[in-house]
Amino acid sequence: MKRLNWGMIGGGKGSQIGPAHRMGAQADGNFALAAGALDHDAERGKAYAAELGVAPDRAYGDWREMLEKEQARENRVDLVTVATPNSTHFEITKAFLQAGFNVLCEKPMTMQVDEAEEIVAIASSTGKICAVNYCYSAYPMVREMRQMVARGDIGKVRVIVVNFSHGHHGDAADADNPRVRWRYDPQIAGVSGQFADCGIHAMHLASFVSGDQVRELSADFASAIPSRALEDDAMVNFRMEGGTVGRLWTSSVAIGRQHGFDIQVFGETGGLKWWAEQPNQVYYTPVGGRTQIIEKGEGGLSGEAARLSRVAIAHPEGFPMAVANIYVDLAAAIRGEPHGAFPTAEDGLRSMAAVHQAVASARQAGAWVDARPPSLR
Ligand code: NAD
């Protein structure tokens, strides 16, 4: 099987998400890193690309140069990953999609709802893939949960409780550290801090696992560290199209919670629980019965959970391999082969609408508002 050519923008040396993309894209032999504009500092980016084995003529100092030169090549990249800071996602994703490239964009896909609508429209008119890296949806046991819900194992879903609450920005003495401060600065982060950063992962997971979409929401935002203009803690109540009640808590001041991402789904005949820090297990409790632990790698799992597990039972795979699962399905889609679900620009659009509507709700003391983007109402 011929490897696909892969390009990366951002994700330079020392970046947070870059390594997960490099491990993920290359884990199954589907993609080879062929080109990159990896850093905001052109020379650093080129040097790091060379270190990673990118040929000198495809180690670019800038994404515009990469776009121009890749377009002119016969063996142009088959997929471009955008892993730069948030405010650049729209411009870069739009330019590459319009030029006929497939794109995997980091979340949030854009800063504005109309920008997200534009990306969805461009992906649709060009027929190119625009995926968004909601990688938690690609953990094998999340797929198992989704299948259990779809199969009716817990009956109609009544309530979803989802948290993405960590404590890594909880130290007030560190609040002015430039690596922390920008996240709560509207000039750089946009209209929302913690909800746009982590809350949208949680909301996406609630939709993915339940197979339903958020219809309306009510938000309470707080800046627990008062110098922050944007929220570092948010409680978002939501209702889904099918009537499910959602409770979402996201925080960056929850000291003691580490990654802090967990989801519980409560149905009429049972409940399910998954926790990103123990991702190999799903807890299942049938009504009136005992709690059972369903383990990645054991017999009888759904096809999706089995397909996306690589190593034997009880061995961890974890975050980079969840990202790898997104790339597995992207590779199949690019090759025109059957593939599983991956998050798309439409998911990115729904998130951006939810962010802006949550901000509007929080400003109106938690008034209930329509969470959907205009085009999907
Ligand atoms: P970071 O600050 O650690 O790294 C950003 C990288 O992008 C750096 O290497 C920087 O030099 C480079 N860069 C900046 N501007 C650039 C430009 N114009 N052209 C080329 N390179 C440029 O940031 P991070 O934490 O890795 O986050 C990057 C993105 O990934 C953000 O949008 C973030 O929301 C997202 N993210 C997603 C997840 C996830 O779970 N899906 C996790 C972490 C971060």
Model confidence over 268-296: pLDDT tens digits? 999 999 999 999 999 999 999 999 999 99
Residue 47 counted as domain residue: yes
| Same domain assignment for residues 131 and 214 | no
What is the distance between the alpha carbons of residues 60 and 65, in angstroms, rounded to a whole number? 7
Beta strands in 209-280 (DSSP E): 214-222, 233-240, 245-251, 261-267, 270-275
Looking at 135, 158, 185, the residue that finishes a domain is 135
Residue 183 counted as domain residue: yes
CA 55 vs CA 36, 49, 211: distances in Å: 10, 8, 43
Compute the average pLDDT of residues 306-324.
95
CATH number at residue 80: 3.40.50.720
Residue 274 counted as domain residue: yes
What is the distance between the alpha carbons of residues 59 and 47, in angstroms, rounded to a whole number? 8
For the chain, percent of residues with pLDDT exceeding 70: 100
| Same domain assignment for residues 289 and 358 | yes
Mutational pocket test of ligand 1: of 16, 23, 197, 325, the residue with most ligand atoms within 8 Å of the beta carbon: 16
Compute the average pLDDT of residues 217-243.
98
Compute the average pLDDT of residues 58-65.
98
| Same domain assignment for residues 100 and 190 | no
What is the distance between the alpha carbons of residues 325 and 137, in angstroms, rounded to a whole number? 9
| Same domain assignment for residues 202 and 308 | yes
| Same domain assignment for residues 285 and 141 | yes
Instruction: Determine the pLDDT at residue 122.
Output: 98
Q: Mean pLDDT of all residues in the chain?
A: 97
Looking at 135, 156, 184, the residue that finishes a domain is 135
Q: What pLDDT band is residue 1 in, cutting at 50, 70 and 90?
A: confident
Residue 329 counted as domain residue: no
Compute the average pLDDT of residues 337-359.
98
| Same domain assignment for residues 153 and 166 | yes
Residue 323 counted as domain residue: no
Q: Where are the alpha helices (DSSP H) in 193-344?
A: 194, 200-210, 303-307, 319-334
Ligand 1 centroid to residue 275 C-alpha, Å: 25
Ligand 1 centroid to residue 86 C-alpha, Å: 7
Q: What pLDDT band is residue 13 in, cutting at 50, 70 and 90?
A: very high
| Same domain assignment for residues 146 and 118 | no
| Same domain assignment for residues 130 and 153 | no
Name, in order, each residue with C-beta under 8 angstroms of 63's C-beta and a sequence gap of 6 or more.
9, 37, 84, 92, 95
Instruction: Determine the pLDDT at residue 270.
Output: 98
Q: Number of folded domains in the chain?
A: 2
Q: At what angle do helices 345-363 and 200-210 cross, to 10 degrees?
A: 120
* Residue/partner pairs of 285-290 with CB below 8 Å, 24 or more apart: 286/154
| Same domain assignment for residues 158 and 295 | yes
Mutational pocket test of ligand 1: of 8, 9, 13, 17, the residue with most ligand atoms within 8 Å of the beta carbon: 17
| Same domain assignment for residues 261 and 170 | yes
Ligand 1 centroid to residue 249 C-alpha, Å: 24
Residue 372 counted as domain residue: no
| Same domain assignment for residues 66 and 214 | no
Q: Which residues line ligand 1 (CB under 6 A)?
A: 9-12, 15-18, 37-40, 63, 83-86, 88, 106-107, 133, 135
Q: What pLDDT band is residue 143 in, cutting at 50, 70 and 90?
A: very high
Query: Is residue 232 scored above 90 in pLDDT?
Result: yes
8 Å CB contact between 280 and 296:
yes
Helix, strand, or coil (residue 167): coil
> DSSP code of 344?
B
Tens-digit pLDDT profile for residues 100-136:
999 999 999 999 999 999 999 999 999 999 999 999 9
Residue 328 counted as domain residue: no
Half-sphere exposure of 100 (CA within 13 A, CB side): 7
The closest alpha carbon to 229, from 195, 182, 196, belongs to 182
The closest alpha carbon to 305, from 151, 96, 127, 191, belongs to 151
Residue 334 counted as domain residue: no
Compute the average pLDDT of residues 171-197.
95
Looking at 94, 120, 135, the residue that finishes a domain is 135
What is the distance between the alpha carbons of residues 18 and 29, in angstroms, rounded to a whole number? 18
Ligand 1 centroid to residue 290 C-alpha, Å: 43
| Same domain assignment for residues 147 and 18 | no
What is the distance between the alpha carbons of residues 354 and 372, in angstroms, rounded to a whole number? 7
CATH number at residue 239: 3.30.360.10
Domain range for 243 is: 137-313+344-363
Ligand 1 centroid to residue 63 C-alpha, Å: 14
Better pLDDT: 194 or 1: 194
